[in-house]
Amino acid sequence: MAFRGQGTRQTKKINTCISATLLFVMLIGMQVYLPGSAQAQPSEGNVLVAQAVLAYESKRYDEALNLLTRARTHDPHNARGLYYLGLTQLALQHPDDAIEPLEAARQLHPTDVNVQYQLGVAYLAANRYDEASPLFEQAYQQDPGMDNLGYYVGVTRYRKKEYKPAIEAFDRGNVTDPNLQRLATFYRGLALGVSGMTQEATAAFQDLQRSRAVDPLTQTAIRLSESLAARQGVQREERRLRASISVGGYYDDNVAINPDRCDRCDPAVRSLVDQFRERRTNSPGAIATLNAEYSFLRHQGFESSVSYSFLQTSNYAGNLDRFNIQSHQPGLHSYYRTTLADMPFQLGLDYTYDYVFLDFNGFLSRHSPTLSATIVEPNTMVPLLGSVGHMTTTLGRYQKKNFFGEFDPRFPSEQRDGYNTMVGLFHSFRFASDRTVLRVGYEYDIERTEGTAFSYNGHRLEAGLQVRLPWDMHAGYTFSLHFRDYQNPQTLFLDKDAALSKRKDTQYDHLIQLTKALSEHWLITAQFSHTTAVSNVAIYDYTKNVATGLVTWVY
pTM of the model: 0.62
Residue 548: CB partners within 8 Å, gap ≥ 6?
Answer: 248, 249, 250, 287, 525, 526, 527, 528, 529
Provide the pLDDT confidence category of residue 273 given band limits of 50, 70 and 90. very high
Select the more confidently predicted residue: 260 or 191.
260
Provide the pLDDT confidence category of residue 518 given band limits of 50, 70 and 90. very high
Per-residue pLDDT tens over the stretch 145-181: 888 888 888 888 888 888 888 888 888 878 777 777 7
Cβ-contact 259, 542 below 8 angstroms: yes
pLDDT exceeds cutoff 90 at 546: yes
Local structure of 162: helix, strand or coil: coil
Query: Mean of the pLDDT values across residues 407-425?
Result: 88
User: What percent of the chain clears pLDDT 90, i.e. is strictly above it?
Assistant: 44
pLDDT exceeds cutoff 90 at 550: yes
Distance, in Å, from the CA atom of 54 to the CA atom of 75, rounded to the nearest integer, reads 18
- Helix boundaries (H) for 77-162: 79-91, 95-108, 113-125, 129-142, 149-159
- pLDDT score at 239: 59
Cβ-contact 460, 485 below 8 angstroms: no
- pLDDT score at 542: 96
- pLDDT score at 487: 95
Query: Mean of the pLDDT values across residues 305-333?
Result: 94
Give the closest residue to 425 by CA, choosing from 400, 401, 459. Answer: 459
Helices (H) and strands (E) in the chain, counts: 13, 14
Cα 118 to Cα 2, 65, 124, 183: the distances in Å are: 12, 17, 10, 19
Distance, in Å, from the CA atom of 190 to the CA atom of 220, rounded to the nearest integer, reads 11
- pLDDT score at 38: 38
pLDDT exceeds cutoff 50 at 416: yes
Cβ-contact 136, 117 below 8 angstroms: yes
The domains of the chain are located at 6-143, 237-554
- Give me Rg for the CA atoms of the chain: 33
Per-residue pLDDT tens over the stretch 219-231: 444 444 444 444 4
| Lowest mean pLDDT, pick from 104-118, 229-243, 336-350, 388-402 | 229-243
- pLDDT score at 155: 85
Same-fold call for 6-143 versus 237-554: no
Cα 44 to Cα 38, 50, 51, 101: the distances in Å are: 11, 10, 11, 19
Specify the CATH superfamily of domain 6-143.
Answer: Tetratricopeptide repeat domain (1.25.40.10)
Count of residues making up the chain: 555
Cβ-contact 550, 248 below 8 angstroms: yes
Provide the pLDDT confidence category of residue 257 given band limits of 50, 70 and 90. very high
Q: Which amino acid is at 9?
A: R
Query: Mean of the pLDDT values across residues 100-127?
Result: 90
Per-residue pLDDT tens over the stretch 287-317: 999 999 999 998 877 899 999 999 999 999 8
Provide the pLDDT confidence category of residue 355 given band limits of 50, 70 and 90. very high
Architecture of domain 237-554 in CATH?
Answer: Beta Barrel (2.40)
Cβ-contact 131, 148 below 8 angstroms: no
Contacts for 271-280 with beta carbons within 8 Å, 24 or more apart?
272/493, 272/494, 272/538, 272/539, 273/538, 273/539, 276/539, 280/256, 280/317, 280/319, 280/320
Local structure of 438: helix, strand or coil: strand
DSSP character at residue 245: E
Mean pLDDT, the chain, integer: 83
- pLDDT score at 349: 96
| Lowest mean pLDDT, pick from 39-43, 99-103, 489-493, 512-516 | 39-43
Per-residue pLDDT tens over the stretch 492-516: 888 999 899 999 999 999 999 999 9
- pLDDT score at 406: 64
